[in-house]
Amino acid sequence: MSRYLDMVDGPEHVKKLTVPQLQDLAGEIRTELIEGLAKGGGHLGPNLGVVELTIALHRVFDTPKDKFVWDVSHQVYVHKLLTGRKNRFRTIRQTGGLNGFALRTESEHDSFGAGHAGTALSAALGMAAARDKRGSDENVVCIFGDAALTNGISFEALNNLKPSTKKFIGILNDNEWSIAKNVGAISEYLNKLITNPSYNKLARDFEGFVRRYLPKGDFALKLAHKAEEGVKSAITGVTLKQTGSLEADGRGGQGSPVLFEEMGLRYLGPIDGHNLPLLISTLEFAKQCDHPIVIHVLTQKGKGFEAALKQPEKFHGLGPYNAQTGETAPAKPGTPPMYQDVMGQTMVRLCEQNGNIVGLTAAMPSGTGMKHLEKARPDRYIDVGIAEEHGVIFAAGMATMGFRPVVAIYSSFLQRAYDCIHHDVCLQDLPVIFCMDRAGLSANDGPTHHGLFDIAYLRCLPNVIAMAPANEDELVDMMFTAAQTNHPTFIRYPRGTAEGVALKPIPLIMEIGKAMVTQKFADTGRTKVALFGLGPMHAIALKAAAQLEKEGYDVAVINPRFTKPIDAAVHEEFARVAALVVTLEDHTIMGGYGSSVLETLSEQRVTTPVIRIGWPDQFVEHATTQDELRAKYGLSVEGTVTKVKAHFAKAAQPVAA
Ligand SMILES: Cc1ncc(C[n+]2csc(CCOP(=O)(O)OP(=O)(O)O)c2C)c(N)n1
């Protein structure tokens, strides 16, 4: 039997199906998500949670004229399936395939790209304001999660809503989870909102609207009443805890019980986000409202897949899994540990030795490895929510009181806290330690998640010490070293498995700014090439050296370890005797480590040519594996060897007359 999904090539086809047919479509989409992602992985749980919501959105609104703005946009897979991309769906997050997030260049139905949390409300508000100014009539619908509300930017947008527009539709997709369990007062507040009996009053309020606006008000009304039951059943599914009532306005006064209303948004909800007819009628209603409105929708992360329901954190985003059981393959014996786990386990060791160490994550306990600390030393572990700026300034505050906070944030997410690094940490020269995971590529996530800019954005800031370990043992050394510096200290390391070297029982405290010479010149009289391989590129430099030696070169390999301060003496020493210097970094070439080598050598009047190997001055696309992208852009053994040989081949050519 053919599927309704096969008939849907665009949102116009969603509009042709009856509600029961759409309910069947929801089931088909769930199957497609579960089966389609099994091979390559992806954000399964969040997408299973928004199936009915996305269908209802496309049933009621008309993209691309109407604009959907999704926060983070990791939950747009269903939207992709319904907007002409279903035939390419199984290529998602793979080389040449669909991107895992909303991407303006991928489809006219993706009105705003994202990957970082907390941007949707601002972007949508900007669109609504632009629409009002130009006098057009498209609807702007912003879909944001409960964890997006832990982010400051979301509140900046809400604060600015009233003066910005009269028409705006927000959908709060509340599933109680961030990647891990959502944290903080806002999440407790949302819980109170759900469990508070005053929602009945709100539902009655909705009733009045429905009577006034909808021709088939009776039908919608029945649904609204069902909503109340629906909410309760949804609540049982979502296992909400009763967190107290909201008799007043949540601030101790006797005004509106709902914060959103104070911000200028009419609040509707909570409603069951898996009840398709209810969602459709509520969105129809929202469409006709001539004032900003927010609909509080309760959904279940992982809905329809037992394994995902049981383990929402694991199924937020994962690699390949068994489509029947949800099982994932265990790591092959002998696989090196993940850098993130080495970092988390080292935190536990550091805390044992130093009573002032605390670990901080911005909603990423598993991704950063801080979960190890959470488990072993909950008293030393802090999750601030998706709040990178706050987290960095919070750490700065703790540092003024004698603590040594270790802030573990992915390189690309830390970009958001740049001013906090500058103004609150570096300017006051506070000893905050930053562990920057995903420094380098996050291949299948793509450009929103690649961490390719941190060396450049940090090396211009005074007081910074910045390092990059070549392997997991050096990561441990660097963390112990960082705990002894009295300055802002940054450690960048890549996503995924480490090199597989043994960890020394007692970590080495490194001399700040000192490189390590791994392989000296053999002084055989052959052409000398000095390879400076930073971080994970050190291993590539070593392999390239072996090949170049076979080709007749005399090759030295240096592990720079520090990008600030760089070891000027070692760079000068090797550059003076080499015929060619090659710098290798898992970072954009523009302003990165290689640039600092060029500056240093120029200052020392060393004129040896320098080839910089790194990522080009463009946003690098997503791909199935990091190795594919490294090969494509020449950050590989072959790429290095080819560039070196090409350099000398060109040098040997006679100069044209
Ligand atoms: C600035 C930033 N920090 C952290 C992340 C990592 N991250 C991706 S999704 C997510 C949780 C989102 O939760 P929510 O908005 O409630 O959506 P849900 O997945 O629950 O549907 C986090 C922390 C990010 N994308 N951007």
Residue-wise pLDDT tens digits, 384-424: 999 999 999 999 999 999 999 999 999 999 999 999 999 99
CA distance 241 to 263: 26
Q: Does 148 sit in the ligand 1 pocket, CB within 6 Å?
A: yes
Alpha-carbon span 145 to 170, nearest angstrom: 10
pLDDT digits (tens, 9 = 90+) for 54-73: 999 999 999 999 999 999 99
Does 174 sit in the ligand 1 pocket, CB within 6 Å? no
User: For ligand 1, what atom is nearest to the CA of residue 115?
Assistant: 25
SS3 565: coil
Distance from residue 363's CA to the centre of ligand 1 (Å): 8
Would you say residue 207 has pLDDT above 80?
no
Report the nearest-CA residue for atom 13 of ligand 1. Answer: 178
- Asked if residues 245 and 285 have their Cβ atoms less than 8 Å apart, the reply is no
Q: Which residue has the tokens 């080819």?
A: 642
445 lines ligand 1 (CB under 6 A): no
- What is the bridge-based pairing of β-strands 433-436 and 381-383? unpaired
Distance 315 CA to ligand 1 centre (A): 13
Q: Rg of the chain's alpha carbons, rounded to an integer?
A: 27
29-39 pLDDT per residue, tens: 999 999 999 99
How far is the centre of ligand 1, averaged over its atoms, from the C-alpha of 213 (Å)?
36
Element holding 278 (H helix, E strand): helix 276-288
The pLDDT score that the predictor gives to residue 250 is 38
Q: Is the CB of 145 under 6 A from ligand 1?
A: yes
CA of 116, closest atom in ligand 1 = 26
Closest ligand 1 atom to the C-alpha of 364? 23
pLDDT of residue 210: 61
Q: Which active-site residues does the annotation give? A: 301, 388, 416
* Residue tagged 């970072």 (tokens): 587
**536-592, pLDDT tens digit by residue?**
999 999 999 999 999 999 999 999 999 999 999 999 999 999 999 999 999 999 999
- In sequence order, the 6+-apart residues with CB closer than 8 A to the CB of 290 are 166, 167
Torsion of CA 439, 117, 227, 58, to 10 degrees: -90
* Strand ranges across the sheet with 433-436: 381-383, 357-361, 404-408, 433-436, 489-492, 465-467, 562-564
Ramachandran assignment for 235, one of left (phi > 0), alpha (psi -120 to 50 degrees), beta (any other): alpha
Residue 283 to residues 53, 146, 214, Cα–Cα distance (Å): 10, 19, 11
611 beta partners: 582
Give bridge partners of residue 532 from the DSSP assignment.
558, 583
pTM: 0.93
Is the pLDDT at 437 greater than 80? The verdict is yes
pLDDT at 228 over 80: no
pLDDT at site 209 = 63
The reported pLDDT for the residue numbered 278 is 95
Q: What is the chain's percent helix, strand, coil content, to nearest 5?
A: 45, 15, 40
Q: Which atom of ligand 1 is nearest to the CA of 46?
A: 21
pLDDT higher than threshold 50 for residue 230: no
What stretches of 335-422 show up as alpha helix (H) in DSSP? 339-353, 365-368, 371-376, 388-400, 411-414, 418-419
Q: How remote is the CA of residue 72 from the centroid of ligand 1, in Å?
A: 6
Angle between helices 19-37 and 51-60 (to 10 degrees): 130
DSSP secondary structure, 596-647, as one string: HHHHHHHHTT----EEEEEE-SS-----S-HHHHHHHHT-SHHHHHHHHHHH
Q: Which of 176, 178, 309, 448 to probe ligand 1 with, by most ligand atoms within 8 A of CB?
A: 178
pLDDT band at 653 (very low <50, low <70, confident <90, very high): confident
* Residue 115 host element (H or E): none
DSSP assignment, residue 338? B
Judged by DSSP in three states, 66 sits in coil
233, pLDDT greater than 70: no
Q: Atom 12 of ligand 1 has which residue's CA nearest to it? A: 178
- Which pLDDT score is estimated for 398? 98
Using the Cα atoms of residue 638, residue 639, residue 645 and residue 650 in order, give the sign of their dihedral.
Answer: positive
Q: Distance from the CA of 568 to the center of ligand 1, in angstroms?
A: 41
Q: How close is the Cα of 314 to the center of ligand 1, in Å?
A: 13
Atom of ligand 1 nearest to the CA of 49: 21
The verdict on the CB of residue 46 being under 6 Å from ligand 1 is: yes
Asked whether the beta carbons of 451 and 458 are under 8 A apart, the reply is no
Q: What is the pLDDT of residues 538-553, one digit of tens each?
A: 999 999 999 999 999 9
**438 Cβ closer than 6 Å to some ligand 1 atom:** no
Q: Please give the number of the atom of ligand 1 that sits closest to the Cα of 50.
A: 21
Alpha carbons 105 and 91: distance in angstroms, whole number: 16
Is ligand 1 within 6 A of the CB of residue 169? Answer: no
For the sheet with 169-174, list strands across it. 67-70, 140-145, 169-174, 293-298, 266-272
Band (192; pLDDT cuts 50, 70, 90): confident
Q: Is the CB of 121 under 6 A from ligand 1?
A: no
92-116 pLDDT tens trace: 999 999 999 999 999 999 999 999 9
For ligand 1, say whether the CB of 637 is within 6 Å of any of its atoms: no
- For the cut 90, the answer to whether the pLDDT of residue 351 exceeds it is yes
